[in-house]
């Protein structure tokens, strides 16, 4: 008898709950148990909970009954994974808990940003300074003690909250075929994204070699320093102590040895300079700060060959990490600021993705060395270029997706994929645009546009149901109880989240200056909220447009001529197809259709206390100019095949790394226990692959719907 994934998840969850009850019973035996460090947690329980978290993560996308799509398109749906720290291979492990074995492993202590210059007085620090320093000191991936217990018990309950597609205006399909069920992202390796660059070429990782450059230092720079010396140099580099220099004795006093030590310090620790000194008949290399704290963000100019482009471009292959998380990991291991990296677009977390990255004045040699140290990352296809990359420069993304355990017949699959290829899908903004908790991001955006700043603060900080980490829940509870931003902030071990940044702003500027407090949040994150509201309006209006007028262009629809929107006139209708029609995102620099959908826009914004004729905001950042978006997208390079397999864990196609390692492609039997649909297609930027797959399967992609269907099925 086959065991369905949902039943497996239930078994694992019940076992975890029983084990947790046993643990708590044991704890009650002692009336005053002493706190136990996390590292001393019972091995069997900790191991089991780790397995549980992986099981839950793997089963977030699970096979469901007709009417629901097993899908997770962003990292917020997998809270258990967010607490995992970056794994490091054996080459980077040290015997000392706080030491450094080589260039790969950053200090396990928290890494603060540079404080005030050395010449300034260091004894006094304002509360604002402390908050800023605390933010710098936090470590990505930090989870609070006991969080495994909480997640094991509340995972299923948390996932029942949130939005359905109906809540955000996703209601229509364009195809007439009968839908069927399948599992998407049962394994993150079932969803592979390759970036399509500005030259139209699909990015692949197929070359790990390093460009030959006589001016590069030797490989010895990565091993010449001891772990203790690296520890001291890193503390000096990051202003973590009061020392002004670090002296390293040259045991084998040769010019070659001294040169390697000089190169190692300058290469591995941006911001430090070196000199050679004689002390009591012994030679020392002395490292010291030359450019001050700005050196971390601006690598030294004089050490970079003038003939070489300032930017090293490379292809980044990553597994189960979003782009910003990956950049943060790379910047920590390279000991540089994340802002010296650039890229053309962000990629999903729960996937394997391949994209181009550029970094300022870091050698290909040094980047390639990370391949020996980091798991779930691979860097290659290095080249030196004059310019960085810019957001939006990409032409799109190519997707390779496996839907496992499909129920559709070969004929149903054929109809669905032919429809996707020939007609396409409605270009809805996907569910991840709107968040996973009971407070959708578009509500915050609407409050910003209404200039209702108290409501903005309340919506971001108030307690809510949904998938959230334990420390965020405690932070919200503290805020609701005390309205004290400093007290709520203390509940957050990770302060880079939006909630932590807003609380830091409220501590700094006070409760009566919410606008300035909110402004501490990075601009892109702030704009995410109002863009979410625009997406919410657009989804609803497109659904109404298709309901009222179907899949043919009508007089009054909008099309683009170059970058300018124009109306379709009665006599021109036959010159266009539905694939030419665009709809506006609301703003002050767009026009609206010349039919009843225009009035629908006005009614929707009026109901939200917004003036469609005045989308300029008192604060310029929040003024919406608007944009145009095609209502139907037809994917390019569409291909597919149905394959049979017996083992649900086997990979069904090779990744770039598999090909680099020479692994043979999988061989499929003519028959098997399960059938899978493997599909390939390319999409332009800012379109959602989940919406394309929704059209194929005819399923609701929301996490809430998945959870409800799972619960019903398990009964």
Q: What pLDDT is attached to residue 278?
A: 82
Whether 656 is catalytic: no
Residue appearing with tokens 């292809």: 315
Residues 6+ apart with CB under 8 A from 643: 652, 668, 675, 676, 678
Q: What pLDDT is attached to residue 630?
A: 97
Burial class (CB in 10 A: 0-12, 13-18, 19+), 627: middle
Q: What pLDDT is attached to residue 428?
A: 97
Nearest partner of 199 among 385, 456, 419, 10, judged by Cα:
385
Question: What would the two tokens of residue 487 be?
Answer: 């007290």
Count CB atoms within 10 A of the CB of residue 307: 8
Q: Name the stretches of the chain with pLDDT < 50.
A: 1-3, 5-10, 12-13, 20-156, 297, 299, 301-302, 709-715
Q: What pLDDT is attached to residue 257?
A: 76
Of the residues 75, 348, 656, 700, which is catalytic? 348
**Phi and psi torsions of 669, nearest 5°:** -80, 160
Q: What pLDDT is attached to residue 141?
A: 34
User: Which domains occur in the chain, in start order?
Assistant: 171-191+401-424+637-699 (no CATH), 198-210+305-394 (3.30.70.3160), 219-295 (3.30.1370), 435-526 (1.10.1510), 528-632 (3.30.2350.20)
Rg (CA), the chain: 28
- 670: enclosing H helix or E strand: none
Q: What pLDDT is attached to residue 23?
A: 44
Q: What is the length of the chain?
A: 715
Would you give the distance in Å from CA 412 to the centre of its chain? 34
CA distance to 262, 263, 304, per residue, from 258 (Å): 6, 9, 20
> Do 628 and 669 meet the contact criterion of CB atoms below 8 Å apart?
no
Instruction: Give pLDDT tens digits for 251-274.
Output: 777 777 777 787 777 777 766 778
Distance CA 380, CA 205 (A): 6
* Coil/strand/helix, residue 239: coil
Residue appearing with tokens 């989804």: 539
What secondary structure, in 3-state letters, does 313-372 show? EEEEEEECCCHHHHHHHHHHHHCCCHHHEEECCCCCCCCEEEEEEEEECCCHHHHHHHHH
Q: What pLDDT is attached to residue 421?
A: 96
Nearest partner of 420 among 704, 670, 687, judged by Cα:
687
* Coil/strand/helix, residue 382: strand
């Amino acid at each position: 008898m086959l065991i369905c994934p949902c039943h497996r998840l239930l078994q694992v969850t019940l076992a975890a709950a029983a084990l947790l009850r046993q643990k708590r019973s044991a704890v009650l035996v002692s009336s005053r148990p002493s706190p136990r460090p996390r590292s001393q947690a019972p091995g069997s329980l900790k191991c089991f909970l780790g397995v549980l978290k992986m099981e839950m993560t793997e089963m977030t996308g699970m096979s469901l009954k007709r009417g629901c799509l097993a899908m997770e398109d962003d990292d917020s749906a997998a809270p258990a994974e967010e607490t995992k720290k970056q794994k490091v291979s054996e080459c980077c492990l040290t015997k000392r808990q706080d030491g450094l074995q080589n260039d790969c492993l950053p200090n396990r202590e928290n890494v603060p940003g540079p404080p005030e210059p050395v010449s300034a007085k260091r004894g006094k620090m304002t509360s604002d300074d402390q908050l800023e320093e605390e933010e710098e000191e936090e470590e990505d991936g930090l989870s609070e003690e006991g969080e495994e217990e909480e997640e094991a018990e509340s995972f299923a309950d948390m996932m029942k909250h949130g939005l359905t597609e109906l809540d955000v205006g996703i209601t229509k399909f364009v195809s007439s075929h009968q839908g069927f069920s399948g599992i998407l992202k049962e394994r993150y390796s079932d969803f592979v994204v390759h970036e399509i660059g500005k030259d139209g070429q699909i990015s692949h990782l197929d070359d790990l070699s390093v460009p030959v450059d006589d001016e590069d230092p030797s490989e010895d720079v990565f091993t010449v320093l001891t772990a203790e010396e690296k520890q001291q140099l890193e503390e000096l580099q990051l202003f973590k102590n009061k020392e002004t220099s670090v002296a390293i004795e040259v045991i084998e006093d040769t010019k070659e040895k001294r040169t390697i030590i000089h190169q190692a310090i300058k290469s591995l620790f941006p911001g430090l300079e070196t000199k050679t000194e004689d002390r009591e008949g012994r030679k020392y290399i002395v490292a010291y700060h030359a450019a001050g704290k700005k050196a971390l963000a601006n690598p030294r100019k004089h050490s970079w060959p003038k003939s070489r482009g300032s930017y090293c471009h490379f292809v980044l292959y990553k597994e189960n990490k979003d782009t910003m998380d990956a950049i943060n990991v790379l910047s920590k291991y390279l000991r540089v600021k994340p802002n010296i990296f650039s890229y053309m677009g962000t990629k999903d977390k729960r996937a394997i993705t391949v994209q181009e990255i550029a970094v300022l004045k870091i050698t290909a040699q040094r980047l390639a060395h990370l391949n020996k140290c980091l798991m779930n990352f691979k860097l290659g296809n290095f080249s030196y270029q004059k310019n960085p990359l810019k957001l939006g420069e990409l032409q799109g993304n190519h997707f390779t997706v496996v839907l496992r355990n499909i129920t559709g017949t070969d004929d149903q699959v054929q109809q669905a994929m032919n429809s996707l290829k020939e007609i396409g899908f409605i270009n809805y903004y996907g569910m991840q645009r709107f968040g996973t908790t009971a407070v959708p991001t578009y509500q915050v955006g609407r409050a910003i546009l209404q200039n209702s700043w108290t409501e903005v603060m309340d919506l971001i900080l108030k307690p809510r149901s949904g998938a959230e980490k334990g420390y965020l829940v405690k932070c919200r509870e503290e805020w609701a109880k005390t309205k004290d931003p400093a007290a709520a902030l203390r509940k957050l071990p990770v302060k880079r989240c939006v909630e932590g940044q807003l609380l830091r702003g409220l501590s700094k500027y006070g409760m009566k200056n919410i606008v300035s407090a909110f402004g501490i949040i990075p601009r892109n994150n702030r704009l995410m909220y109002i863009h979410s509201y625009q997406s919410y309006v657009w989804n609803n209006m497109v659904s109404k447009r298709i309901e009222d007028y179907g899949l043919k262009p009508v007089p009054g629809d909008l099309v683009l001529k170059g970058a300018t929107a124009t109306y379709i006139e009665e006599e021109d209708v036959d010159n266009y197809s539905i694939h030419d029609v665009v709809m506006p995102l609301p703003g002050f620099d767009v026009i609206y259709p010349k039919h009843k959908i225009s009035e629908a826009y006005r009614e929707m914004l009026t109901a939200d206390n917004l003036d469609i004729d005045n989308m300029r905001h008192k604060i310029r950042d929040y003024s919406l100019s608007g944009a145009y978006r095609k209502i139907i997208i037809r994917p390019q390079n569409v291909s597919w095949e149905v394959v049979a397999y017996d083992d649900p864990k086997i990979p069904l196609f090779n990744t770039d790394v598999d090909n680099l390692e020479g692994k043979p492609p999988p061989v499929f039997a003519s028959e098997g226990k399960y059938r899978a649909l493997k599909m390939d297609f390319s999409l332009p930027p800012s379109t959602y692959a989940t919406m394309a797959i929704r059209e194929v399967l005819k399923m609701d992609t929301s996490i809430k719907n998945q959870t409800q269907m799972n619960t019903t099925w398990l009964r």
